[in-house]
Chain A
Amino acid sequence: MKTLVLGLGNTILSDDGVGIHIARRIKEKLPGIDVIEASAAGFRVVDEIIGYDKLILIDSIRTKNGQPGTYYKLGIEEFKTTLHHSSPHDMNMFDALELMKKHNAHLPKEIIIYAIEVENTFTFSEQCTERVERAIPELTALILKEQFRHDKI
């Protein structure tokens, strides 16, 4: 089974880059797996995942009253709640996936989303805020363990 780890976000916009930071750590631990990082949305994200059987997507999220650094494991049905899946001039990722399915594209049958609550996505910086920074090794370890049965951090 062909698996892709996709880190979404922007590494120069503080916490926005958290998904990519985690994806990079996973790649360090497991150099053999496919990892892509993307600062993109909607249709442009779907372009990246064609041809894979399983997708592990890591992204930032902001929910009402959510505490920065908290992380969640989500299913495809909750797609619309994360930050990067659609944009003002783009379709959301869910619609893009539906469209590609209609055209018989080889899309992942299994999609797992890990999302971290973020605090600051408005300031240009390569550093995440403290609480988000602390969550990075924790969530990296969790994903390695849950998805790759890899316990050594």
Chain B
Amino acid sequence: MGTKVTIDPITRLEGHGKIEIFLDDSGNVENAYLQIPELRGFEQFCVDRPVEELPRITPRICGVCPMAHHMASTKTVDAVYNVQPTETAKKLRQLVYDSYIFEDHMLHFFFLGGPDFVVTPSAPKKERNILGVIAKVGLEIGTRVIKTRREIRNIVTYLSGRIIHPVGGLPGGVSKGLTEEKRQEFLKIAIDAREFAQESIEIFNNIVLGNNAYVDLIVGDIYKHKTYYMGLVDENNKVNFYDGKVRVVDPDGKEFVKFGAEDYLKQIAEHVEPWSYMKFPFLKSIGWKGFKEGKESGIFRVAPLARLNVSDGMATPLAQEEYERMYETLGGKPAHNTLAFHWARLIEALYASEHIVELLEDKTITSPDIRNIPTETPTEGVGIIEAARGTLIHHYKTDEQGMVKAVNLIVATVGNSAAMSLSIAKAAKALIKNGKVDDGLLNMVEMAFRAYDPCMACATHSLPGSTPLIINVHDKDNSIVETIRRD
């Protein structure tokens, strides 16, 4: 039996999630996995409740992306009642949803991923935080991030009630429309947000792409995996967060399959490992071939870079320009560089802001026709949406009274669970040689992990806890010989 290295990201929530790295007898990495404990009883909790309550219950699964669950759930309830939202309701839902994506992506780039990217990768621990980012980009940019986020959040709050516990979505529509006065007010905010998204890409160009150390990391082998990719696209195969079909491309970028929400069980299966409660989704027709990359393995990736990889482009002009520039820089499509998730996230934020502007320039968005009242007997439905962190699937079955009988969710972070294990293993293999754990391991593994912006809250159906990272190096007798910790 070899040595085991344990990275425990959430130690204060006992057993809440950790990274296990297994070494072979010569002290080199054999494999690495992400372990998540199970939260029990979500389905039982939902069973025998009215299905229209689920858009209010499911956002509570996660304190980070409640809007994604709310919207996925709302779409699923539409499907259960076999009712389509009105055109205006669809526009309003997209307005709210793009606002959420914009706000979430900007928060991630500047404040969460920023410590990896904006501050140099080798920066001392004490600078690798948000205050280090502000020191680098300047107080003015920090103020701008805070102001723009607040204003965009106001759009969500206006249309959905509280941002943390949204209530705007109803089967067949939304609960609140937009007045002409508010349309004009929000349009100004959206134009400002679009400008800021462009400036943010400039910041990325100057600070990240202008630094060879970063470029080497982005294009280097440690953070590269040739996998399948999955994401929603519109009828022109352009990125869409709210609606469309799920498109999967193979590691060469060729379309592998395109399917509607109702067919998700035909395309996706979930692999179970005895050491983790987190499931590992894979493409059913390829099969589970272990934690391996390549065309023969059914592992796929979701989230920003995956969405760009499966699409033929962005539906808005400024984002399209940046899309082309990114692929030109990375040497074509698909891009397999995990750290390019950060770049793709900014391009998506720009697209979201452009789309918000488009929606608000359309005066018909103020139409009072915001709901189709359901008339059919509820049965079963599937709703798919692109959460900030990837493809999110809700599936409900009800009785004739609309009482829930079965619930299945495939959450975004779980979509990347197998790939995250691959990435962690690759970073660990590069940094642990002959039993010697490099001091940079913690940062490098964290960077592999954080590019996906994983949400353990979602993956475990739990709320987030604090995140010290701990690496325990175990010898062959399983005793800890070395501990590295970052709080």
Contacts and interface: CB of A to CB of B under 8 A. Distances in A.
The answer on A and B forming one complex is yes
Interface of A: 9-13, 16, 38-44, 47-48, 62, 80-81, 83-92, 95-96, 98-100, 102-103, 105, 121-125
Given A10-B60, A83-B465, A91-B112, A102 B450 contact: no
Contact of B9 (A81, A88, A99): A88
B466 interface: yes
A31 to B, nearest CB: 19
Contact of B112 (A10, A89, A105, A124): A89
B40 interface: yes
B16 to A, nearest CB: 9
Contacts of B464: 41-42, 84, 86-90
B125 to A, nearest CB: 13
Contact of B466 (A43, A92, A103, A125): A92
A124 B42 contact: yes
Given A41-B464, A84-B63, A124 B164 contact: no
| Most chain A beta-carbon neighbours within 10 Å: one of B17, B130, B455 | B130
B164 A122 contact: no
B10 interface: yes
A122 B143 CA distance: 38
Contact of B454 (A10, A11, A89, A100): A89
Given A12-B57, A44-B164, A91-B112, 15 more contacts: A10-B60, A11-B60, A12-B60, A13-B462, A13-B463, A16-B462, A38-B63, A39-B165, A40-B63, A43-B111, A83-B12, A88-B17, A89-B453, A102-B139, A103-B146
List of 3 A-B pairs having minimum Cβ-Cβ separation, nearest first:
A87-B464, A124-B45, A124-B41
A83 B111 contact: no
B461 interface: yes
29 contacts: A9-B463, A12-B45, A13-B60, A38-B63, A38-B164, A41-B63, A41-B463, A47-B153, A80-B466, A83-B466, A88-B454, A88-B457, A89-B455, A90-B64, A90-B464, A91-B111, A91-B129, A91-B130, A96-B130, A98-B131, A99-B134, A100-B146, A103-B139, A103-B142, A123-B41, A124-B39, A124-B41, A124-B45, A125-B45
B328 interface: no
B466 to A, nearest CB: 5
Contacts of A86: 464-467
B108 interface: yes
A74 B450 CA distance: 31
A38 B57 CA distance: 14
A87 B467 contact: yes
A98 B130 CA distance: 9
Nearest to A96: B130
A10 B463 contact: yes
A95 B112 CA distance: 11
B165 A99 contact: no
B131 A88 contact: no
A87 B131 contact: no
B455 to A, nearest CB: 6
B456 interface: yes
B447 to A, nearest CB: 13
A79 to B, nearest CB: 9
Contacts of A10: 60, 63, 462-463
Interface residues of B, number: 49
Contact of A102 (B112, B134, B457): B134
A121 B461 CA distance: 11
Contacts of B143: 103
Contacts of A99: 111, 130-131, 134, 142
Interface string B461-486: 11111110000000000000000000
A34 to B, nearest CB: 14
B63 A39 contact: yes
A150 B13 CA distance: 34
Nearest to B15: A122
A121 B465 CA distance: 11
B177 interface: no
A103 B165 CA distance: 27
A124 B454 CA distance: 22
Contacts of A11: 60
A65 to B, nearest CB: 11
B417 to A, nearest CB: 13
A88 B66 contact: no
Interface string B138-152: 010011001000100
B38 interface: yes
Nearest to B460: A122
A40 B164 contact: yes
Given A39-B63, A41-B64, A99-B134, A87 B12 contact: no
Contacts of B454: 88-89
B463 A88 contact: no
B41 A125 contact: yes
A10 B60 CA distance: 7
A28 B318 CA distance: 51
Contacts of B164: 38-40, 44, 48
B269 interface: no
Contact of A39 (B17, B66, B134, B153): B66
A87 B64 contact: yes
